[in-house]
Structure 1
Amino acid sequence: MGSLKHLLYDYLLSIGLSEIAAKYLNMAALIIALMLVVFIIDFIIRKLLIGAFIQFAARSKTNFDDLLISNKVPRNIAHIIPLLIALEFFPIVFYDFKGFESFVEKGLQVFAIVLTLWIVRSLLSTLKDYLKTLPRLKDKPIDSYIQVFMIFAWVAGFMSAIAIITGIPFLKFATGLGAISAVIILVFKDTILGFVASIQVSINDMVRIGDWITFEKYGADGDVIEINLATVKVQNFDKTITTIPTYALISDSFKNWRGMTNSDGRRIKRALFIKQSGVKYLSDEDVEDLKNIQLISSYLETRQADIKTYNQSNEINKDLLLNGRNLTNLGVFRKYIDTYLNNHSAINKDMMIMARQLAPTNQGIPLEIYAFSSDKRWENYEYIMSDIFDHLIASLPYFGLEIFELPSTTDFR
């Protein structure tokens, strides 16, 4: 050890350098040598350890070891031995400079804390991924448990690092931090809330840059262009910018359209309000007239035959339309909508297509169209939806139906 700490010192003195210059050059040479040794050992151990894990995982029947590799557990563990070597030999490197020795020692100890947290995070991520593969644990909130544990681990690691840097014992530092925590929370309330929120937003993948979100409370409706500790910036579709506090994303309700963007269609959900006075049973003559509508002619043929068979077999008195089974103009119109949507080229046939009647209101009977357009782009989506409703509104008179609307001034005239 004695020869190592003055590896070049005596030689540098012998060639005429001053004592202080010899000491600095000797320290620099030792730093370079130690860094090379540590780097080489780290590289060799990392390759050997990862290779051993890969070979073991290839022969193993469980996927736990595969998850260890994918979560970089062997890579993080491989750094332990080089770190121990650095801790062992750095007093020799800085033998003549005790001030540097103290500074480097604290730096290595802080790195040891960070490395420990990396290993713990990798192991917990592996455990989380493995538990999610077990059928009985698929519906359990495993992520929440891991997040809570990691929060405590990072807080403990941060406090340990500060205690090492300041030279204050950990327990004394923790006690003093508790005494001033109320002041810290009061002064940095928004920063702390934003920090916690940004962690939650990131971990839970609630919002990403580029997501389209709607946040009615703040008047935001557009694409997220920036996420930082305190604010989230949204560029609205009118090109204005709305700034939202980051903590509002976890304290208030907002809509993220990413699911729609990633899906195979964009939902159309809109109702026509039909005047109730226009709804009626269809006579045979009415049905014959409606058979001229090609989309539902075969349906009416089949349906009319089934109804006649039923009424005749049950000896229904059809002098009154109310008796027995009957078609209504509203029901036939619903069938027309359903057939029309299923034949529309812009509607995704692999997703839900439905025309449904909602509860009557004082503005008529809502007939809701529920379907998904194949084109999700806003402009094209609006065009498709308008085209569909243009057609359906114009179709209503053919079924003896009317749209409800409040009286206008011309109606009173």
Structure 2
Amino acid sequence: MPAAPVTPDTIRRAPKVLLHDHLDGGLRPGTVVELAEASGYTALPTTDAEQLGAWFREAADSGSLVRYLETFAHTCGVMQDEAALRRVAAECVEDLAADGVVYAEVRYAPELFTERGLSLDVIVQAVQEGFADGERRAAGAGSTISVKTLLCAMRQNARSLEIAELAVRYRDSGVVGFDIAGPEEGFPPTRNLDAFEYLRQQNAHFTIHAGEAFGLPSIWEAIQHCGTERLGHGVRIVDDIKVAEDGTVHLGRLAAYVRDRRIPLEMCPSSNVQTGAAPSIAEHPIGLLTRLRFRVTINTDNRLMSGCSVGSEMAALMDAFGYDWADLQWFTINAMKSAFISFDERLAIINNVIKPGYAALIG
């Protein structure tokens, strides 16, 4: 049987796994408008949903991580009550399921949603209820998806240990890990060392945003000082790889360590182009890192700001690097192997969902 042709529909049918997706970076533009009206938020640049979607993408295209992060003032601004959080979470699951995602870890920083008095616990509970709503709606539409949560602390603030304790408190209620997010430069991972030490003592999982806007020292600290299990982005690991004119590749000690230890790279191609971490999709380090067989995974980062989905990221990489269904299966299995759920659960999804799904496409 011949391989399935590559079309938007067949890419949508391919089972996908998403490890790096921000809840407050994936709202539907129409939802932002409606929530702003309901909550009295008046700072939106426009109340036309289509124009607003375009504004988010253009603002995020600046090439600056700092400017990119400013767009979140609007999404967070309309996510300050329980009903809004629950709605956004449910719609997130529906949108991912419609894209063929079968397992996702969606992250957010609870401290960003306390402006109107919500407690951290109420925020987590509202989002978990929304994810459950979304899973039920997706099942009703014929799609099976499992969505888990990563709780982020903002690295420029001083609440990392508090958020780490929150993640452990809800570890049996769908929160599978912890992360630090926000500006890398000037806020190294080691500022949050107490949180990471606590998580390791609790046998809890965590990933760290590192190697996106800042280089190798950020990655080295995240791994060697903090003990991260995965690297959020990690794109600058390419700075420790030299390619000679004859094509010979030499890995520095840090790059070799990351590859040898199979430390997962949560790569987000479109987002990296927007923030200046890569000049274009075709020139994104994901090409070299995939060729060298690092533990590469494909992610969205912020679907609203980048106007992307896992499917569109896959399509762009197929176009840029000539990847086929077998390559997409490799990326997907990499991600599933790297998820923060139990070994048995990971294996079941790989063997019962991912491999059969791709077998039908590979032919």
Regarding TM over 0.5, the answer is no
TM interval, shorter chain, is: under 0.3
What is the TM-score with the length of structure 2 in the denominator? 0.21
Q: Which has the larger radius of gyration?
A: 1
